[in-house]
């Protein structure tokens, strides 16, 4: 395949500063960028008509045109551009312009049945005039959601003007640009005039895109430069609020982990704009662009597994019937492939290999299904690239209360909440019942590529999400408030420590809209994850439960459950109370081991729901899925209840039995003061309060991992509260001496061992390391 113009991306440039000694801009420079943007939208310079993948993309484009034209209102005195988009609704304004961009794209795409169609052009021009006359013009006040006016409409309108530049009269172009200028006078700001706020993150990128493309329509260099310079803020590291954090976190709406939607919108948008401006007088030259490139490995790759964008960073999007984890994975993959054309070849090769691996292992969906022509070209650029396996390791995103543990064939993701990060986000009628997703919900990503994409969210019992400890007190829709308002009031100890691919993760759980509290830990090892809970106390008058598993068996799954050697709940509708369970195995999923005989409940059921149940814009069509659930009942208003279990993803029935007979894990403590385990030379501990566990005496709350190799000990410590200036640990190990240590670590040798002090102020919950010998 020949090199594609629209794929080109060169190094970025300083946003907050003008380009050094730029060449004087000329009308031809603007014309060249209009042509480049049009090519990026249509793929006009990449289409290979004989290729079936491009043919399929063209067929889809033409079918979409037919569908839109059937709704086009051509009547005299029409009050809308499309019959199903009444302009009394703000979303319809944006939707109308999105459709017009789609029609303009088909008109400008070689190979489309609508290429250069005079009739289609007339329809689009008339609809543009109608929208400008009826609603979208200078002087009109916004109503409803600001996004519809400032982003949802501006971007497609600007792109439509570029696509049809020579066909739209200059006077009309000026009016349409005036409308954009009215709603977005400055892309650094968003919201209506009465409540303007600084734009951030993905919103800033979207606003800058609208103005940069709009500037191409009127050859407005000042607007273009101002919007270009506004991009720089989006790839700086932040320590609070929206944007990228040094630990790889990405936050939007101040309180919400949002790598999987707003995050990839940002990456995709910046990638397109860097490619647009590359080699022009307005090329981006910010030397801090490396932060953006570093984010691919630090922020995006860890939260995609076999092309699935992990749901715990998708926010409200999990409730959208037409946007699965695969869809957001496709968008992230597209953005990464586009960026790969402008980085060091070795880095680009690593990214492409990762994406190729995702595509090779994705069995539930197909990235080419529904793909645009530009996306088809990006996927085809992977021809001959060797697919990479999912890498093992652990990533703790302390700044957004998320953790991902990876081993061969599976990944285990943990979703938490604190005073820093919301339990969940509702808004725009979306995700109204997601209130328990931050209560320690766990996601097992394995060979079941459709586990969460296959109608999981509208059918799962929202009070029995896997991993959570939950007060079954019924909650109303949008409990705790919208837009990230549903946050814990006092829970700060959320996070943990990491060392060499192992992790001690903990959550001081303050339940949403409930007085229930619990201390939860996950100790992430090679073959399994050890889950401990303690201090589980409730006073709402309702039962409190911990959900060990709630697996989507899809429409007709029959995976068998064996508990202590006996088949349990074999038929739909079956339930069982197992008073002294020691182990369980779910066919095709893995094993569950209870170190102490535990009262476990099991249930196999069919559940029916609709996307409308969780999203006011969802379909009302009922969907039914089967579930296998394991949970622990702590009773009504428990006091200081606890639990312990091991999850061994992918373990066979025989291996599960073997682990139960001779488990290498020893539980050292499981109390509201400390939770700790040891296994195979590792000691992992979460100290909620000053206390002693074996040879460890914590003088402050902290998390610690110690790995012993012969006489050497590697140690990692952190302050998960992110509030302490120092943390202190006494290690009772006579003769211990320090070999190496982070600059933040100071030690004092004593007769009993070693006193360790770590300066943690401003380190945002990251781990601090030292190596000792004894």
Q: Is residue 318 part of a domain?
A: no
pLDDT tier, 49 (very low <50, low <70, confident <90, very high otherwise)? confident
639/670 same-domain check = no
Catalytic-labelled residue, pool 97, 165, 176, 262 = 262
pLDDT tier, 7 (very low <50, low <70, confident <90, very high otherwise)? very low
Query: Any idea what the Cα angle at residue 233 is, between residues 136 and 337, rounded to 5°?
Result: 85
Sequence-distant contacts of 524-528: CB under 8 A, at least 24 apart: 524/394, 524/403, 524/405, 524/412, 525/665, 525/679, 525/680, 525/682, 526/407, 526/502, 526/680, 527/407, 527/648, 527/651, 527/659, 528/591, 528/593, 528/646, 528/647, 528/648, 528/649, 528/651, 528/659, 528/665
pLDDT tens, residue by residue, 332-390: 999 999 999 988 999 999 999 999 999 999 999 899 999 999 999 999 999 999 999 99
Q: Is the pLDDT of residue 5 over 70?
A: no
Q: Is residue 244 part of a domain?
A: no
Q: Is residue 322 part of a domain?
A: no
Whether 245 is catalytic? no
pLDDT tens, residue by residue, 239-295: 999 999 999 999 999 999 999 999 999 999 999 999 999 999 999 999 998 999 999
737/590 same-domain check = no
Average pLDDT, the chain: 96
Domain at 694, CATH number: 2.60.220.10
Q: Is the pLDDT of residue 4 over 50?
A: no
Q: Is the pLDDT of residue 391 over 90?
A: yes
Helix, strand, coil shares of the chain as percentages rounded to 5? 30, 30, 40
Residue that the structure tokens 């081991």 belong to: 593
Q: Is residue 167 part of a domain?
A: no
pTM: 0.94
3-state secondary structure (DSSP) of residue 686: strand
Whether 305 is catalytic? no
- Tell how far CA 336 is from the center of its chain: 15
Cβ neighbours around 195 below 10 Å, total: 8
Say what the pLDDT of residue 12 is: 32
pLDDT tier, 23 (very low <50, low <70, confident <90, very high otherwise)? low
- Which of 608, 635, 661 is the C-terminal boundary of a domain? 661
687/739 same-domain check = yes
Helix axes 154-163, 170-183, angle to 10 degrees: 160
Q: How many CA atoms lie within 13 A of 133 on its CB side?
A: 11
Domain interval for residue 694? 666-773
631/515 same-domain check = yes
Structure tokens at 358: 């995702």
- Gap between the Cα atoms of 129 and 132, Å rounded: 5
pLDDT tier, 71 (very low <50, low <70, confident <90, very high otherwise)? very high
Q: Is the pLDDT of residue 3 over 70?
A: no
pLDDT tens, residue by residue, 178-236: 999 999 999 999 999 999 999 999 999 999 999 999 999 999 999 999 999 999 999 99
604/737 same-domain check = no
From residue 191, alpha-carbon distances to 204, 266, 661 in Å are 12, 19, 61
502/542 same-domain check = yes
Q: Is the pLDDT of residue 116 over 90?
A: yes
Average pLDDT of the segment spanning 596-609: 98
626/677 same-domain check = no
Q: Is residue 292 part of a domain?
A: no
Residue 297 DSSP label: I
Residue that the structure tokens 């020949």 belong to: 2
3-state secondary structure (DSSP) of residue 325: helix
Catalytic-labelled residue, pool 99, 214, 253, 289 = 253
Contacts of 594 (CB under 8 A, 6+ apart): 581, 582, 583, 600, 644, 645, 646
Whether 264 is catalytic? no
454/438 same-domain check = yes
Cβ neighbours around 246 below 10 Å, total: 16
Average pLDDT of the segment spanning 25-54: 94
607/732 same-domain check = no
- Gap between the Cα atoms of 465 and 484, Å rounded: 20
Say what the pLDDT of residue 411 is: 99
Structure tokens at 711: 């006489």
759/619 same-domain check = no
Higher pLDDT, 664 or 18: 664
- Which of 618, 636, 661 is the C-terminal boundary of a domain? 661
Cβ neighbours around 367 below 10 Å, total: 23
Average pLDDT of the segment spanning 710-725: 98
- Which of 641, 661, 681 is the C-terminal boundary of a domain? 661
Average pLDDT of the segment spanning 417-441: 98
Kindly tell me the sign of the dihedral angle through the C-alpha atoms of 305, 309, 315, 318: negative
Q: Is residue 415 part of a domain?
A: yes
Look at the chain and report how many structural domains it folds into.
2
- Tell how far CA 516 is from the center of its chain: 28
What radius of gyration do the chain's Cα atoms show?
28
Q: Is residue 442 part of a domain?
A: yes
- Gap between the Cα atoms of 750 and 753, Å rounded: 5
Q: Secondary structure of 97-161 in the HEC alphabet?
A: HHHHHHHHHHHCCCCCCCCCCHHHHHHHHHHHHHHHHHCCCCCCCCCCCHHHHHHHCHHHHHHHH
Q: Is the pLDDT of residue 19 over 60?
A: no
Say what the pLDDT of residue 9 is: 31
Structure tokens at 320: 């959208």
Catalytic-labelled residue, pool 4, 308, 316, 420 = 316
3-state secondary structure (DSSP) of residue 449: coil
651/690 same-domain check = no
Domain at 642, CATH number: 2.70.98.10
749/694 same-domain check = yes
């Amino acid at each position: 395949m020949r090199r594609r113009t629209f794929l080109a991306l060169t190094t970025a440039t300083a946003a907050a500063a003008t380009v050094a000694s730029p060449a004087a801009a000329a009308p031809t420079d603007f014309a060249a960028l209009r042509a480049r943007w049009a090519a990026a939208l249509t793929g006009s310079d990449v289409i290979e008509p004989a290729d079936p993948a491009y043919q399929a993309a063209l067929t889809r484009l033409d079918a979409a045109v037919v569908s839109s034209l059937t709704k086009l209102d051509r009547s005299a005195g029409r009050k809308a551009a499309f019959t199903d988009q009444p302009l009394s609704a703000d979303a319809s304004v944006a939707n109308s312009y999105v459709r017009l961009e789609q029609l303009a794209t088909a008109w400008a795409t070689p190979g489309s049945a609508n290429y250069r169609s005079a009739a289609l052009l007339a329809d689009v021009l008339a609809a543009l005039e109608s929208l400008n006359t009826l609603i979208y013009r200078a002087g009109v006040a916004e109503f409803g959601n600001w996004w519809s006016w400032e982003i949802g409409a501006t971007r497609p309108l600007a792109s439509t003007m570029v696509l049809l530049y020579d066909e739209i009269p200059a006077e009309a172009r000026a009016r349409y640009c005036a409308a954009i200028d009215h709603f977005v006078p400055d892309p650094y700001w968003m919201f209506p005039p009465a409540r303007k706020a600084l734009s951030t993150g993905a919103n800033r990128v979207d606003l800058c895109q609208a103005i940069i493309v709009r500037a191409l329509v009127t050859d407005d260099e000042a607007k273009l430069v101002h919007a270009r310079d506004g991009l720089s803020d989006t790839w700086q590291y932040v320590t609070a609020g929206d944007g990228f954090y040094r630990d790889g976190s990405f936050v939007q709406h101040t309180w919400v982990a949002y790598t999987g939607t707003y995050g990839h919108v940002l990456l995709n948008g910046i990638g397109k704009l860097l490619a647009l401006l590359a080699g022009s007088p307005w090329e981006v030259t910010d030397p801090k662009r490396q932060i953006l490139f570093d984010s691919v490995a630090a922020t995006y790759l860890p939260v995609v597994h076999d092309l699935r964008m992990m749901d715990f960073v998708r926010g409200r999007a999990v409730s959208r019937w037409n946007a699965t984890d695969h869809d957001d994975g496709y968008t992230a993959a597209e953005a990464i492939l586009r960026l790969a054309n402008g980085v060091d070849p070795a880095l680009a090769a690593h990214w492409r290999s990762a994406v190729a691996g995702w595509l090779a292992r994705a069995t539930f969906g197909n990235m080419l299904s529904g793909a645009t022509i530009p996306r088809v070209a990006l996927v085809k650029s992977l021809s001959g690239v060797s697919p990479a396996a999912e890498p093992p390791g652990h990533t703790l995103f302390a700044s957004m209360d998320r953790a991902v543990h990876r081993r061969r064939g599976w990944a285990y993701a943990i979703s938490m909440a604190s005073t820093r990060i919301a339990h969940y986000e509702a808004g725009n009628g979306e995700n109204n019942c997601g209130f328990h997703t931050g209560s320690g919900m766990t996601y097992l990503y394995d060979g079941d590529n459709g586990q969460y994409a296959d109608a999981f969210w509208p059918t799962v019992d929202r009070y029995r999400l896997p991993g959570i400890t939950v007060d079954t007190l019924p909650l109303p829709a949008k409990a705790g408030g919208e837009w990230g308002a549903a946050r814990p009031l006092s829970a700060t100890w959320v996070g943990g420590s990491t060392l060499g691919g192992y992790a001690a993760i903990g959550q001081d759980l303050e339940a949403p809209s409930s007085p229930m509290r619990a201390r939860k830990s996950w100790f992430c090892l090679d073959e399994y994850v050890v889950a401990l809970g303690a201090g589980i106390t409730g006073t709402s008058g309702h039962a409190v439960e911990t959900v060990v598993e709630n697996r989507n068996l899809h429409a007709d799954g029959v995976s068998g459950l064996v508990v202590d050697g006996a088949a349990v709940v074999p038929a739909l509708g079956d339930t069982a109370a197992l008073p002294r369970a020691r182990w369980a195995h779910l066919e095709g999923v893995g094993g569950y081991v209870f170190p102490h005989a535990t009262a476990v409940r099991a249930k196999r059921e069919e559940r029916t729901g609709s996307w409308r149940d969780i999203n006011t814009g969802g379909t009302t069509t009922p969907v039914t899925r089967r579930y296998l659930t394991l949970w622990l009942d702590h009773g009504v208003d428990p006091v200081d209840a606890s639990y312990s279990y091991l999850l061994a993803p992918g373990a066979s029935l025989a291996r599960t039995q073997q682990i139960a007979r001779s488990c290498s894990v020893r539980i050292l403590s499981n109390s509201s003061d400390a939770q700790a385990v040891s296994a195979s030379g590792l000691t992992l501990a979460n100290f909620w309060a000053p206390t002693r566990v074996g040879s460890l005496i914590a003088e402050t709350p902290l998390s610690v991992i110690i790995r012993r190799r012969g006489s050497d000990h590697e140690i990692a410590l952190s302050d998960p509260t992110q509030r302490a200036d120092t943390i202190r640990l006494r290690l009772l190990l006579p003769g211990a001496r320090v070999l190496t240590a982070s600059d933040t670590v100071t030690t004092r040798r004593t007769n009993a061992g070693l006193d360790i002090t770590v300066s943690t102020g401003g380190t945002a919950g990251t781990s601090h390391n030292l190596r000792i010998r004894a």
